[in-house]
Structure formats: C-alpha cells, structure tokens
Structure 1
Amino acid sequence: MGHPVLAGVDGSAHSSVAADWAAREAALRGVPLRLIHASPPLPGTAVPLPAVDRLRHMGERILQRAVADLSEHYPDLEIRGEQADDAPASALLAAARTAGLLVVGTRGTGGFGGLAVGSVALRMAMAAPCPVVLVPRRPDGAFGEATHAGRDAAQMVVGFDAHHPVGEAADFAFSAAEARGARLRVVQAWTFPAESVSSSTLAVTEEDRATWEDQEVLQLSDALRAWQEKYPQVTVRPDVVLLHPAEALLNTSRGAELLVVGRRIDPQAVEGRLGPISHAVLHHARCPVAVVPHLG
C-alpha cells in the first residue's frame, strides 16, 4: 500500500471541507487517510495541567467526530486520527515526511474574516516535503460540480512552461486527471519576444504575433508528448495564452476540480518559499490548489 494521504483538522468548517477532499483522494489512491490534530499549550505561558487536559480532550473529540463522519461517507476507507502536542505547522510538517499528499484548509480557526490563506496553510505550501493541496471553503461545501453532471465534464488545470518543464507537477496533474477520468487543461502563458519591444517598434503586427504564438504551441506540444504517451487515457487540452501566468491560470481554473502548480526547492535554503505566480494563485483561486515541490 502506498503512502497515506494526510489532513490537518481543527474543528473549523474549512478543515472539515479539506478532510472530506482528502478522504475522497485517499479512496481514489487506495491508501489510508491520516488525520492530525495539534493542541499544544500556549507558548510562553505556564498552563495549568487541568487546562492542558481540557485542550487534549477537545482535540480528541474533534478527531473522533471527524473520523466518525468520514467513516460514514467512506466506509471502505482506513482512517486513523492522531493527536499532536506540537504547534500545528510543526506537527503537519513532521507527519508529511511519510505522506504521499498533505491536504489542508486554506484557513483554520484563527485569523480574521477577510483572510484568504492562513499562516499554517501558507507554511505547508512553502515547506512541506510532499505535494500539498490547499482547499478553500465553498458555500455549498462542494467542489468539481462538473463531476456530478458527468465524468466527461470534469476538468483539471496545470500550469506549464515548455521552456522549463517541471516533470513533478506535470506527472502529478496527469496522474490525478487519469484517476478522476477528467480532462486536463495545460496552460502556458507567453509574452512577446524581447526584440519585438523597442523604441523603434510602434506596434506588433498580427502576422508576427501569429508566428510567435505558433512557435509556443509547437513547443508546448513537443514538451507534452512524453506525458501523453505515459497517460494515454487522459484527454489533454493545450492552452497557450498571451497573459501574465497567474491571470491565465486563474481565468482557466474557474469551475475546475483542481489547479496544479509547481514549487521550486532550494537545497541551500533553510525555509521554503513560493514564487509570485504560486503565491497569487493560492490567494485568489476558487478551486483546490495543488503545490508540487521539485528540485531545480
């Protein structure tokens, strides 16, 4: 059996939606679901033992409720809950070392009403050693409405750069699309070549634009060939867009089941970080976002 899917729960509505998403993903993968709740004493304070016991008891009840609710909806899924005494971010990062996927809500119980992505979710996206899916809360609590209408309507989106392809993100997206029977929209944003923008150039002709766009389309097609051969069941829609990458991804991900982006790992860095495109996507996407780490 493969590595488990890991989800953080804290009793919030956001974490409940994320845990349900994680359960469906674990069922698709045929792996166990591991739920983590962290309830450490408040830092810098001498918390009385009865208060610590109450915090742990509350955490245990949250875990029991989450396991019971998910077991009712996914009776064949192996689910186990674990209590951690570390801070939420530390507990999840430690558990993620043996997980195949980490799933968190974009927000937890803390923060303020207008906050799009909480500190724990952001830290997971930046530093987790495995792929991370951040799940926003929807008013109806559901994602991928298209899948309920029919499998052919389901769509996933992946950001791709044919000039510097990220194999880990592409492989994650193709594999997820295959498991769901979903179409995969591969988005490549492009800009005019540097030589086309100068003080002597008053306008870009339609002929030049078409030529450059055709070159981008061909390069994307060539770069995707290896994954299309590896995943022949996946219907792929290449999409070359003359937009900023973040805007292109956000526009095309409306109504998608999942949006996949990469995160470069710097072996020399103590703490991970997100690039500007991934950062913008996380704060503005309306669908779940997978952040896939890669070297190079």
Structure 2
Amino acid sequence: MGQPVLAGVDGSGHSLAAAEWAAREAVLRDVPLYLVHAAPPLPGGEVPDQARETLRRVGERIVQGVIADLGARHPELRVRGEQSAGAPAEALLSRAAGAGLLVVGARGSGGFDGLAAGSVALRVAAAAGCPVVVVPGRRLGGFGNGTRPAGAVPPVVVGYDAHRPVAEVADFAFGAARRRGAVLRVVQAWVFPAEAVSPRTLFVTEEDRATWEDQEVLRLSDALRAPQERYPEVAVRADVVLLHPAQALLNSSRGAGLLVVGRGGGGRLGPVTHAVLHHAGCPVAVVPHGG
C-alpha cells in the first residue's frame, strides 16, 4: 500500500475544498485519506475541563461530518479522521513524515480575508517533509479552476529550471499528469544573460534574443529527456518564456488543474513560491527537494 494522503480540516470553506481535493487525489493514488482536525490552544491560563470537552466535541462533529460528506461522493474512498490538541501547523507537520502528500486549504477558519495564503498553509508548505498542496477556498471542478468544456482535463503546469533540474519536482509533476490523463505544461522562464544588460551593450537585437532563446529551448529539451523516458505516456508541452518566473507561472496556470513548484532545503519558501501561493487560482503543489 502506498503512503496515505493527509488533509487538515477545521470546518472552514477552504479546508472543505482541500478535503474534497485530497479525497479525489487519494482515489487516484488508490491510498487512504487521513483527516486531521487541530484547534489552536485557547488564550489565557488553564482551560476549564468543560471548555476543553466542548472543543473536542466540535472537532469530532467537524471530522465526522467531512468523512460522511466525502464518503457519500466517493464510495471507493478509504478515509478516517483524528483530532489533535496541538496547534494546527505542528499537528500536521508531525504527521506528514508518514504521508505521501499533505493537503491544506489556503486559509483556515481563523484567516484574514485579505490574505490569500494563511500562516498554517505557508508554514507547512515551507517545512513539511512531503509534498504539500495548497487549495483555494472553493470547490474545484475537474481539479482545476474556472469553467471547462465537459470531459476536458485541465493541464498540470510545472515550473522547471533546466539550469538546475530537480528529479523530485519532475517526478511529482509527471506523475500527477499521468494519473489524470492530463497534458503536462513545463514552463521555463529566462532572462537576458549578463552581457546583454551590461553598460557596454547599447541594445539587444532580435537576432541575439532569438539565439539566447534557442539555447534555453535546447537546454530544457535536454533536461526533460530523462523524465520523459520514465513517463512516456505523458504528453508534454514545453514553454520557454522571457518573463519573471512568478509571472510566467501565474500566466501559464490560468485554467490549470495543478501548479507544481519546488522548494529547496532550509525550511523557507522562495519569492516565486510565495507569489504563486498568494496569487494562483488553482491548487499549488510545493515539492521539497535537496537541490
């Protein structure tokens, strides 16, 4: 049996959307879904037993309600839930070590409307040992966002750096596309080399730009050769764009079912990942790697 999918639930619309996405993913992977409800500690000193019991009952109702809802829509789903007395991010991170995927809503019940991605989502995306998917706060048809023709499968989009290719990111993106029968759109953003923007360069000709772009296209083609051999059934569309990486990914992910980005070591999210978590309209997968 494969590693389970783990999802955090707190009764908010964002967490319900995340639970639905996680259920579909668990069915696709043929693995169990584990739901975790964790309420942040109450402020102040010692919490009365009656208040603690009330919180426990509320959490139990939330978990059982989500289990019943998901079971009705996905009869083949294997799902169970549990409660944790710890803070939400820490509760999820402690359980993520044994999971194949952690799914959270962009914001929880305590989030601020002006923030696209809340503190729990950002914390687990930065620190989890397994891939994390952050789901926007609405039900998603066909794993994506927006309206699509009946039967259409939205593409999976991955941000890829052919200068420093990462196998973990490629395998996650190719695997997601294969499970869905989706096209994989590989986006490589590039900038002009240093000599093109030096004080000695008066202007960049169209011929120079085309030459540099051709080099990027060839580099990306070489970097994709190995994963394409591992996933020959996945149709790949490679896009090389002269644009800031965050903007390139946001543009490419419109109408996508999933956007995949990598996360290096150090337990921190880079500026590109921050940007897509706050502004992407589709679920975003953050894949940890050692590169």
Per-residue deviation, residues 112-169 of structure 1 (Å, max 9, x unmatched): 211111110110110011000000123x653426776224x42110000101011111
Distance in 2, matches of 1:121 and 1:128, equals 10
Aligned to 1:29: 29
Contact 1:259 1:289 in 2 (8 A): yes
- Residues 225 and 141 of structure 1, relative CA distance in 2, 3 Å threshold: closer
Distance in 2, matches of 1:116 and 1:165, equals 29
Distance in 2, matches of 1:126 and 1:51, equals 32
Distance in 1, matches of 2:25 and 2:66, equals 16
Consecutive unaligned residues of structure 1, counting only runs of 5 or more, are 267-271
Contact 2:21 2:140 in 1 (8 A): no
Any idea what SS the aligned residue of 1:295 has?
coil
Aligned to 1:275: 270
2:56 maps to 1:61: no
Aligned to 1:119: 119
Contact 1:187 1:241 in 2 (8 A): yes
Distance in 2, matches of 1:105 and 1:72, equals 21
Deviates further, 7-16 or 112-121 = 112-121
Contact 1:146 1:154 in 2 (8 A): no
Q: 1:292 aligns with which of 267, 276, 287?
A: 287
Contact 1:41 1:47 in 2 (8 A): no
- Residues 158 and 48 of structure 1, relative CA distance in 2, 3 Å threshold: same
Distance in 1, matches of 2:12 and 2:43, equals 22
Aligned to 1:256: 256
Contact 1:107 1:117 in 2 (8 A): yes
Per-residue deviation, residues 55-76 of structure 1 (Å, max 9, x unmatched): 0000000001000000001111
Contact 1:40 1:84 in 2 (8 A): no
Aligned to 1:149: 150
How many Å apart are 1:44 and its aligned residue? Answer: 4.0
Distance in 2, matches of 1:16 and 1:251, equals 27
Alignment-mate amino acid for residue 17 of structure 1: A
Distance in 2, matches of 1:29 and 1:210, equals 42
Any idea what SS the aligned residue of 2:264 has?
strand
Any idea what SS the aligned residue of 2:209 has?
helix
Q: How does 1:204-243 map to 2 (within 5 A)?
A: 204-243=204-243
Per-residue deviation, residues 165-209 of structure 1 (Å, max 9, x unmatched): 111111100000000000000000001111111222221001111
Any idea what SS the aligned residue of 1:265 has?
coil
Count of residues in correspondence between the two structures: 289
Distance in 1, matches of 2:269 and 2:163, equals 20
How many Å apart are 1:41 and its aligned residue? Answer: 3.8
Distance in 1, matches of 2:190 and 2:41, equals 49
Distance in 2, matches of 1:50 and 1:250, equals 48
Distance in 2, matches of 1:242 and 1:87, equals 42
Distance in 2, matches of 1:197 and 1:39, equals 52
Distance in 1, matches of 2:74 and 2:5, equals 14
Distance in 2, matches of 1:170 and 1:63, equals 34
How many Å apart are 1:43 and its aligned residue? Answer: 4.5
Alignment-mate amino acid for residue 276 of structure 1: P
Distance in 2, matches of 1:147 and 1:165, equals 32
TM-score normalized by structure 2?
Answer: 0.96
2:1 maps to 1:9: no
- Residues 291 and 68 of structure 1, relative CA distance in 2, 3 Å threshold: same
Aligned to 1:269: none
Distance in 1, matches of 2:41 and 2:207, equals 65
2:128 maps to 1:133: no
Distance in 2, matches of 1:35 and 1:277, equals 29
TM-score normalized by structure 1?
Answer: 0.95
The CA RMSD measured in Å over matched residues stands at 1.3
Distance in 2, matches of 1:257 and 1:73, equals 20
Contact 1:41 1:52 in 2 (8 A): no
Alignment-mate amino acid for residue 151 of structure 2: G
Q: How does 1:150-229 map to 2 (within 5 A)?
A: 150-151=151-152, 153-229=153-229
